[in-house]
C-alpha cells in the first residue's frame, strides 16, 4: 500500500448553525486524486480549508502532510510580477525557482515581468498553478481548479495533476466540473438536514 498523505477521522463541521458534514472518513494515499463534488453550500471549500489549516473550527481528526492550497482566488499579489510572486512563494520552501521553465510550462513565457494586475484572470490563475509545480508539497488541495481557465488551461490542470500523482503526490480537488481523470476517486458531499 502507498504512503498515506491525508487521513481524516470522524470529521464534522458546523457553519452558521448548519451542519456541513459529520462523521467524515477519508484516506488519501500517494498517487491518488480525490474528486470532491456536491451542491453549492455542501462544504467542499470548507473541507479543503479545514485540511489546509485555514478553518480550525471543526471536530474530528485530520492528519496531513504539508499542503499546497489553491483556493477560488489565485492567491497572488497583483502588484508583483509572475517572477516576483514565484520568488515570494519559493522563499517559504527554500526553493530556487527556474522562472522561465516554470512560467513557460504554464503558458506564461514572455509574461515574467508584467505586473499580475495587468494579466487576465486566466493568466493570473496560471501564475497560481506555477507555484504548485516548483513547490515541495506532496498534498495538493485544489478548490475549483478550472476557475477562469480556457480549454487549454483546463487541460494544463489535468496534466499537472497527473504529473504530480506520478511523482508520488496526491490531490484533493473540489469541483463542479469533472476533472476527467480516469483514476480519480469520487467523494460527494451532500447537504445535511
Where does 16-135 show beta strands of DSSP type E? 18-29, 33-37, 59-64, 67-70
Under 8 Å CB-to-CB from 159, ≥6 apart: which residues?
A: none
Selected residue with higher pLDDT from 192 and 50? 50
* Mean pLDDT, rounded, of the chain: 93
Selected residue with higher pLDDT from 140 and 191? 140
pTM exceeding 0.85: yes
The rounded distance, in Å, linking the Cα atoms of 111 and 144 is 24
Residue 1: pLDDT band with limits 50, 70, 90: low
What would the mean pLDDT of 11-36 be, rounded to a whole number? 94
pLDDT at 135: 79
Q: Which three cell numbers stand for residue 97?
A: 525557482
Residues 94-122: tens digit of each pLDDT: 677 788 899 999 999 999 999 999 999 99
CATH architecture type of domain 4-188:
3-Layer(aba) Sandwich (3.40)
Q: 69 in helix, strand or coil?
A: strand
Q: Where are the domains of the chain?
A: 4-188
Amino acid at each position: 500500500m502507498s504512503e498515506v498523505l491525508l487521513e481524516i477521522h470522524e470529521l464534522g463541521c458546523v457553519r452558521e448553525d448548519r451542519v456541513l458534514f459529520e462523521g467524515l472518513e477519508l484516506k488519501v494515499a500517494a498517487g491518488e486524486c480525490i474528486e470532491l463534488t456536491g451542491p453549492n453550500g455542501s462544504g467542499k471549500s470548507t473541507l479543503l480549508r479545514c485540511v489546509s489549516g485555514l478553518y480550525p473550527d471543526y471536530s474530528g481528526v485530520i492528519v496531513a502532510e504539508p499542503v499546497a492550497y489553491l483556493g477560488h482566488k489565485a492567491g497572488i499579489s497583483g502588484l508583483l510580477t509572475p517572477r516576483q510572486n514565484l520568488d515570494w512563494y519559493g522563499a517559504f520552501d527554500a526553493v530556487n525557482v527556474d522562472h522561465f521553465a516554470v512560467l513557460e510550462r504554464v503558458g506564461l513565457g514572455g509574461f515574467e515581468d508584467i505586473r499580475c494586475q495587468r494579466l487576465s484572470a486566466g493568466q493570473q490563475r496560471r501564475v497560481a498553478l506555477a507555484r504548485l509545480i516548483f513547490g515541495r508539497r506532496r498534498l495538493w488541495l485544489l478548490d475549483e481548479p478550472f476557475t477562469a481557465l480556457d480549454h487549454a488551461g483546463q487541460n494544463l490542470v489535468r496534466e499537472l495533476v497527473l504529473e504530480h500523482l506520478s511523482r508520488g503526490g496526491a490531490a484533493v480537488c473540489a469541483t463542479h466540473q469533472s476533472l476527467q481523470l480516469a483514476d480519480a476517486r469520487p467523494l460527494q458531499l451532500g447537504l445535511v438536514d
